[in-house]
């Protein structure tokens, strides 16, 4: 009995010591180990920053959430604009089970396990479970195929996030079963509001009473990525000398910039280096082109992302100055789709050097831009009667197709008498050939056909 009382006495003394320690010690902030970006993650649509065109009052996504009738969907947009957060808010708002996978580390087995869990919980919840897949464009065809049955039957509501155009990266069967929502870059006002919100509301930052004197450096380094912006703010705050309360551009550049990775394929550098590659091609510098290409390769960039940019450049920057460039770039895209690293680097290098060394013309790019601008300003002008299709007798009687001269049988020197634009735009020049050998040949032919009508 004496032993028992002795043990009880020791325990009581131990508890009194612990009480004294905790009463005299400062309060431990359990949030300190949670990143600022996670602490500031909004929990409702009203707290969500940006994407007003989707989640604003009476906007399509908010209305779908409010109705409770939620389709499977794809969120397409740049990094850090709130794709993951929006998916979590949707699941929370509708009180749905929420599962998440990353396409980088998950396979078909993981998908099947979650679908199985969703079947088991479906009968006890108010709707199908939400499965969020980050970077869904990295899933192979077979992995995407494994989602089809569950999406079609409503076992899961799929929300896929992608930084790439889903038309290229998501199989058509899955694409047709999903509503695609385009998320836009945050505005400067959105990001500055987020910084102020973090300083004034975060449990760790609020007591510090930090002020941001200048935001330019923070915004530039973050590249518009809200998550990255908050991470940078946290680094800056932690780097402040004791007693210092103000964050300036110079301080951020001196204390934060060197901590950011040289090439982040999901952040600002991803787009900056891609831009440098394309501008080197546009500037006809194969040395610059192959250097920036190598930077992307060494950074672990997806070869199809690079090939797609080359394909766009072949039309936008080379165009009809060398029509073979488009064929070359398309062959490059098809080749790298079949061949992985490291061999794809040779194919990409060949294509980039060819494009950089080609004559340049942006005439096609300018022409379609001008044509679209004209349409926005003039509206839907009527198709001239002689250009209309006339499949029925009634249409022929109404004059559809009348006076149309079939160009293959008409005399070449008579072609200029026919007009192919709406009456209101007669004689309007949209395509202007550039000063290169190929397009000068086109210009010569067009001058011959049109007899100066379009001032070629």
| Stretch 286-293: mean pLDDT | 86
Out of 163-177, 309-323, 335-349, the most confident range is 309-323
Distance between CA atoms of residues 88 and 98, nearest Å: 7
201: number of Cβ within 10 Å? 11
| pLDDT attached to residue 121 | 67
Rounded to 10 deg, the angle between the 286-298 and 268-282 helix axes is: 160
13-22, 299-308, 411-420: the lowest-pLDDT one: 13-22
pLDDT band, residue 263 (cuts 50/70/90): very low
Q: Taking Cα atoms as reference points, which of 160, 226, 227, 218 lies closest to residue 190?
A: 226
Residue 69 has pLDDT above 90, yes or no: no
What pLDDT does 395 receive?
A: 56
Better-scored residue on pLDDT, 9 or 177: 177
Q: Which of 20-29, 339-348, 380-389, 406-415 has the lowest mean pLDDT?
A: 20-29
Specify the 3-state DSSP secondary structure of 80. coil
- CATH of range 52-182; options 1.20.120.1630, 3.40.50.800, 3.60.15.10, 3.40.50.300: 3.40.50.300
Q: Which candidate, 322, 318, 310, places its Cα nearest to that of 348?
A: 310
Task: Please state whether beta strands 179-182 and 73-76 pair in parallel, antiparallel, or not at all (unpaired).
Answer: parallel
How far is the C-alpha of 156 from the C-alpha of 177, rounded, in Å?
12
Is residue 126 over pLDDT 60?
Answer: no
What pLDDT was estimated at residue 95? 84
Average pLDDT, the chain: 79
Closest CA to 180 of 71, 56, 83, 75: 75
Instruction: Answer for the pair 159, 129: CB distance below 8 angstroms, yes or no.
Output: no
| Beta strands at 129-134 and 73-76: parallel, antiparallel or unpaired | unpaired
What is the C-alpha separation between 144 and 353, in angstroms, rounded? 35
Question: Is residue 426 within 8 Å of residue 454, measured between CB atoms?
Answer: no
Q: Is 223 left (phi over 0), alpha (psi -120 to 50) or beta?
A: left
Tell me what the mean pLDDT of segment 392-415 comes to. Answer: 60
What Rg do the C-alpha atoms of the chain give, in angstroms? 30
Tell whether the model's pLDDT for residue 384 goes beyond 80: no
Neighbours of 365 (CB within 10 A): 14
Buried (b) or exposed (e) across 397-432, using 16+ Cβ within 10 A?
A: eeebeeeeeeeeeeeeeebeeeeeebeeeeeeeebe
Are the C-beta atoms of 310 and 344 separated by less than 8 Å?
no
The CATH code of the domain at 268-357 is 1.20.272.10
pLDDT (0 to 100) of residue 412? 55
DSSP helix/strand/coil, 132 = strand
DSSP assignment letter at 180: E
Mean pLDDT of 8-22: 47
**Residue 122 — pLDDT band, cuts 50, 70, 90?**
low
Q: How many residues does the chain have?
A: 456
Q: Summarize the chain as % helix, strand, coil (round to 5).
A: 60, 5, 35
pLDDT for 310 beyond 90: yes
Tell whether the torsion through CA atoms of 249, 255, 258 and 259 is positive or negative.
Answer: negative
pLDDT of 159? 92
Taking alpha carbons only, the member of 229, 227, 209, 210 closest to residue 218 is: 229
Is the CA virtual torsion 299, 302, 305, 309 positive or negative? positive
Render pLDDT for 243-262 as a digit per residue (tens, 0 to 9): 788 888 888 888 776 555 44
Give me the residues paired with residue 160 across strands: 74, 133
Q: Domain spans of the chain?
A: 2-30, 52-182, 268-357, 379-450
pTM: 0.56
Highest mean pLDDT among 140-144, 265-269, 350-354, 427-431: 350-354
Say if residue 352's pLDDT is above 70.
yes
Q: With bands split at pLDDT 50, 70 and 90, how would you rate the model's confidence at 450?
A: confident
CA-to-CA separations, 366 to 125, 211, 343, 369, in angstroms, rounded: 54, 46, 35, 5
Residue 75 pLDDT grade (very low, low, confident, very high; cuts 50, 70, 90): very high
* Three state DSSP letters for 150-173: HHHHCCEEEEEEECCCHHHHCCHH
């Amino acid at each position: 009995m004496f032993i028992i009382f002795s043990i009880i006495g020791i325990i009581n003394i131990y508890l009194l010591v612990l009480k004294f320690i905790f009463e005299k010690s400062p309060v431990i902030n359990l949030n300190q180990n949670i990143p600022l970006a996670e602490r500031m993650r909004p929990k409702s649509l009203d707290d969500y920053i940006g994407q007003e065109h989707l989640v604003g009052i009476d906007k399509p996504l908010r209305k779908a959430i409010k109705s409770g009738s939620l389709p499977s969907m794809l969120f397409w947009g740049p990094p850090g604009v709130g794709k993951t957060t929006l998916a979590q808010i949707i699941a929370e708002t509708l009180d749905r089970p929420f599962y998440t996978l990353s396409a980088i580390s998950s396979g078909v087995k993981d998908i099947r396990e979650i679908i199985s869990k969703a079947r088991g919980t479906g009968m006890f919840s108010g709707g199908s479970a939400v499965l969020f897949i980050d970077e869904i464009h990295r899933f192979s065809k077979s992995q995407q195929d494994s989602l089809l049955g569950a999406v079609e039957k409503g076992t899961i509501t799929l929300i896929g996030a992608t930084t790439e155009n889903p038309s290229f990266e998501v199989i058509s069967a899955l694409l047709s079963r999903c509503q695609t929502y385009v998320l836009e870059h945050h505005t400067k006002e959105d990001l500055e509001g987020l910084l102020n919100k973090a300083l004034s509301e975060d449990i760790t930052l609020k007591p510090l009473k930090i002020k941001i004197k200048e935001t330019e450096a923070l915004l530039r380094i973050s590249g518009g990525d809200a998550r990255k912006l908050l991470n940078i703010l946290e680094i800056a705050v932690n780097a402040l000398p004791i007693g210092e309360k103000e964050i300036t551009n110079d301080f951020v550049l001196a204390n934060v910039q060197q901590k950011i990775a040289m090439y982040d394929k999901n952040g600002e550098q991803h787009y900056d280096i891609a831009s440098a590659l394309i501008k080197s091609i546009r500037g006809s510098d194969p040395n610059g082109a192959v250097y920036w290409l190598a930077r992307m390769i060494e950074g672990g960039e997806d070869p199809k992302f690079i090939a797609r940019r080359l394909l766009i450049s072949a039309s936008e920057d080379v165009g009809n100055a060398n029509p073979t460039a488009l064929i070359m770039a398309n062959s490059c895209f098809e080749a790298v789709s079949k061949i992985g690293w490291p061999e794809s680097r040779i194919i990409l290098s060949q294509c980039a050097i060819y494009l950089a060394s080609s004559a340049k013309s942006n005439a096609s790019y300018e022409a379609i831009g001008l044509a679209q601008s004209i349409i926005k300003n003039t509206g839907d002008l009527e198709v001239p009667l002689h250009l209309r299709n006339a499949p029925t007798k009634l249409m022929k009687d109404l004059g559809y197709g009348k006076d149309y001269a079939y160009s293959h049988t008409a005399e070449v020197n008579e072609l200029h008498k026919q007009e192919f634009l709406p009456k209101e735009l007669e004689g309007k020049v949209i395509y202007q050939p550039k000063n290169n050998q190929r397009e000068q040949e086109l210009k010569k032919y067009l001058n011959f056909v049109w007899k100066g009508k379009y001032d070629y």
